[in-house]
Amino acid sequence: MAGKIVADTLEHSTAGSVTTDYVVDGSVKAWCVHTNSAGIESSKALNISAGTDNGTGQYTMNFVNNFDGAVFAVTATMFDASNADFVVADDPTASSIKVRVFTTAGSNRDQKGSIHVLGDLA
């Protein structure tokens, strides 16, 4: 049966305690695994409305629930152990984040990857 627990502190029997605002504030608010063409891999995403394929190695992930501004923490990765590529998250807005993957020579390259976004929602 669905229920609700209202608590300010979670306490372990020996490991100490944490206030629940850390749990709320520290939760990932948006994430996805994207394909090399800005699709969502195997429906693995939360709080993403759509991906935009902007060109080779350039993707925008659009949020359903906007963040409260353009300042939030993003971790972007890509899944390819055979290429020493770089991935950057760029141009954040309250409603989207861009991801770019490029080689050591500076050329963009299509790659499957993932993003995690933490911050304050609108």
Partner 1 sequence: MQTPEFQGTHLWLRLGWAKENLEPHQSDYRVVYEDSVDECAKILVPDPNWMACALQGGILPPVWVYHELAKDEAQEDFKKHTRGYLLHETQPVEAMTEEEAIEYLILKDCPQSVWQDWDSGNRPKMVICRKDQLPQTREWRNAWRISNDIAA
Q: By the criterion CB under 8 A, which residues form the site for partner 1?
A: 29, 32, 36-40, 43, 45-56, 62, 64-66, 68-70, 93-96, 108, 110, 120-122
Q: How far apart are CA 104 and CA 37, in angstroms?
A: 21
Q: Toward partner 1, which CB reaches closer, 40 or 89?
A: 40
Q: Are strands 96-102 and 58-63 parallel, antiparallel or unpaired?
A: antiparallel
Q: How far is the CB of 117 from partner 1 (least distance, A)?
A: 12
If one counts every other C-beta atom within 10 angstroms of the C-beta of residue 6, the result is 5
Q: Toward partner 1, which CB reaches closer, 11 or 37?
A: 37
Q: How far is the CB of 7 from partner 1 (least distance, A)?
A: 17
Q: What is the largest CA-CA distance in the chain?
A: 56
Core vs surface per residue 70-99: b (16+ CB within 10 A) or e: eebebebebebeeeebebebeebeeebbbb
Q: Toward partner 1, which CB reaches closer, 87 or 117?
A: 117
Q: How far is the CB of 29 from partner 1 (least distance, A)?
A: 7
Q: Toward partner 1, which CB reaches closer, 54 or 77?
A: 54
Coil/strand/helix, residue 23: helix
Q: How far is the CB of 79 from partner 1 (least distance, A)?
A: 17
